[in-house]
Amino acid sequence: MKPTKQTSVTDHCAAEAIPMPRLSDDAVIQIHDFIHHVLDLFEARYGDQIHRFYQDLSADCMIDTDTNLNLDDPPF
């Protein structure tokens, strides 16, 4: 089943990949906040490595990033 414009790819993948139980609103918020807290801790510990990885990745990019683009000039 391909995602439609009404269905996001994330919703589609999550629905098929991991069966999720029904949760109360309170439980959803508590889990959501916990996940954000864990992610904050992870980024506090490994943020420099994450930043370096993406910085190196963008430095290896073959696309020339011209900062003097004329935005009024159409691409074609």
| Domain-wise residue ranges, the chain | 24-60
pLDDT above 60: residue 5 = no
**Helices assigned H by DSSP within the chain:** 9-17, 25-59
- Average pLDDT, whole number, for the chain? 81
The token pair at 57 is 């990745």
Q: What is the pLDDT of residues 12-26, one digit of tens each?
A: 665 678 888 999 999
The C-alpha angle with vertex 13 and arms to 22 and 33, in degrees rounded to 5, equals 50
Cβ count within 10 A of residue 12: 14
